[in-house]
Each structure stands twice: as C-alpha cells, then as structure tokens.
Structure 1
Amino acid sequence: MKKLFAIIAAVLISAGAYAQIEHPVTWAYAAKKTSATEATLLLKATIQPGWHIYSLNVKEGGPIKTAFTFAKSKDYELVGKPVEPKPVTKYEESFKMDVSYFEKEVIFQQKIKLKPGAKLTAIKGQLEYMTCNDKKCLPPEDVDFSIPVGK
C-alpha cells in the first residue's frame, strides 16, 4: 500500500512539474543612435497567435494598458512620451468598451537625449502589460529591462 501511495504521489508531482505557465509574449530591446546626442529606444513585443497586448492609450475602466517606466539618470532625458504604431481597435464585450491592442508583434519607441559627458552603457526600466485572448486574460506582468546604448 505504501508503494502504491508513493507511486501515485510521484506521478502527481511529475504531472504538476510539466504544467506550463502561460507566457504568450516575449520582449526584445535595442537602441538606435540617431545622432551623437540622441537615440531611439526600441521595445519589441512578439505575441503568440491568438493573443494580444493592449495599447499605451487605454481608457479608464478597461484592461491594463502597456506602460514603460525608465530609470532616472543624469546621463539622459526622455524626449516626449513613448510612441506606438496604429493599433487594432475593437469592442470587447468583457470590458464593455472599445479597446486598442496589438497582435503578432509591436515595436514601441522612446526617444532620448544624451547629456554632455554621458557615460551611459544601458538604460534600465520596467514595463507593465496585460495579455488576453478570446477566452481569458492573464494577470498583468511587470518586466525589468536593460537596453544597451552604444557610445
């Protein structure tokens, strides 16, 4: 009886170990220098089929919008706000409103100005986003990032 219990427990534990946590979005980062004192940060989301993430511009009462927070530094300053390409906008019954979102992939951009004498090698920050498909939404995720900035 003890052997049978041990075997059942081992099978259940093994099955639980193989259960996947869903992560339908992967992020990649880059910086493109546009001059000696300016650069554009690129934050790319690759989204699995059937899933989407929300725009930077979602009205109150809707899903969690995508948002970026950049660490403060004496070496650079943000120029304007992050920008995004044109999103898909549709009515979502679960939120009872029109929402804007991206499927497959999206590249968000943030311009920065490097300050004189900057010794910057990377720009750090955090992003928050929410992922949904036509059946469910996953809890919002916070992701730390570090974007290499060439000299």
Structure 2
Amino acid sequence: MNYRLIIVTFFLIIGNGWAQKTAILPDLIKKVEQASVQFSEAIPNHMDPLALQADLVWSDNKSQLAVIMKATLLDGWHIYAYVPETQPYIASDLRLSLPNGVTKIKDWESPNSTPYEEGIYIYEGTIVFVQYCSVNNFKKGDVISSGIYYQTCDLRKCFPPEIKTIDLVLN
C-alpha cells in the first residue's frame, strides 16, 4: 500500500475543502460593491473631521457576511495608513470583535493609500474598509463590534488619537 499517495490525497481533499469554505462567495462580493456605494453620506465637521458608518452584508445562503466600514473625512483632513517608527503620528488601526461562530476569512480589505512625506502614507476623502467573515453559527442578537483607532490631521494641526466603534446586531 502506498501510504505516501494516501497522505497526499488526504491533504488535497482537506485542503480543497478548506479553500472552498474560505473562498469569498461571488454574490457577497457583488453585494458589498453595491452596499459600499449606497451608504448615506455621513457628514464630518471641524470638531470631528471623521464620520464613521458601518453595516453588515450577508451572502445569499447566510454562510458568509461582510462588515463594511465607511469613513468620510472633512476636506483637507487625513488619517494615517502607515507611519514609520521615526515619525510621531499614529497609524490607523482597524478593530473587530466577533461573536462565537463568526470568524474572519482574511484580513481587512483597505483602499490604496496616498504617499505623503518622509515614508508616511495617508487616507483622504471617503474610505471603505471591508472584513469578510465565515458564519458557522450565531445567536440572533449577537453583536459584531467594528471600529477604527486613528489620528486626524490637516496642514495646521492634529487632533489626539481616538477610537470610534459601531455595534452591529446579527439578525
């Protein structure tokens, strides 16, 4: 008996099954694209230059969902996508708390950032972040908490870092 062949076949079967479970469903990708455009526009202001919105989008078969966060920055303001250790600014950090039975498929999807100065990259305008998740089991009323830790700056000043979170209820 060729045990090597059996082991390779076993890992191929397991690997293919795992890949199928973690592949993002095409209907969910399409729904996320539509939903990210359909958000009502949140309006930031000079005292709070970042407005945050979030929503859940489900796949047709309810086996996957996407957490969509849309941050809208006031004109002339930015947040940091990447900051080298030599710089004093605070890079944005996306937050996510999931209930039992809901797991991340991969890391957050983020838009391309813009080079700024001295190795710093920023986000400006409207930014959409997406986290795809696999749903094995959940209880109605479970909560997904999503948010962002960030520092907003314009050409003259920076506000202290803060965190904004939004709780989304599973139904």
| Letter aligned with residue 74 of structure 1 | N
1:59 correspondence with 2:84: yes
Q: 2:109 matched to which residue of 1?
A: 83
Q: What stretches of structure 2 of length at least 5 have no aligned partner?
A: 1-44
1:147 correspondence with 2:147: no
Q: Say how many residue pairs are matched.
A: 124
* TM-score, structure 2 normalization: 0.64
Which of 22, 28, 32 lines up with 2:57 in the alignment? 32
Q: 1:47 matched to which residue of 2?
A: 73
Q: Structure 2: how far apart are the matches of 1:40 and 1:80?
A: 11
| Letter aligned with residue 27 of structure 1 | L
Once the two structures are superposed, what CA deviation does each residue of 1:88-108 show, in whole Å capped at 9, x if it has no partner?
A: 1121xxxxx221111111011
Which of 83, 94, 99 lines up with 1:68 in the alignment? 94
- Between the two proteins, what is the percent identity of the paired residues? 21
Conserved 8 A contact 1:30-1:148: no
Which of 119, 127, 149 lines up with 2:139 in the alignment? 119
Greater CA drift, 74-83 or 38-47: 74-83
Once the two structures are superposed, what CA deviation does each residue of 1:58-99 show, in whole Å capped at 9, x if it has no partner?
A: 4333321111222242131112211211111121xxxxx221
Please give the secondary structure, in 2, of the residue aligned with 1:109: strand
Once the two structures are superposed, what CA deviation does each residue of 1:107-130 show, in whole Å capped at 9, x if it has no partner?
A: 1111111123x1254311442011
Q: 1:12 matched to which residue of 2?
A: none
Q: Structure 1: how far apart are the matches of 2:146 and 2:75?
A: 27
Higher alpha-carbon Rg: 1
- Cα 1:87/1:120, change in 2 over 3 Å: farther
- Cα 1:101/1:120, change in 2 over 3 Å: farther
Report runs of 4+ in structure 1 exceeding 3 Å deviation: none
Relative contact order, higher structure (CA 8 A, sep 6+): 1
* TM-score, structure 1 normalization: 0.72
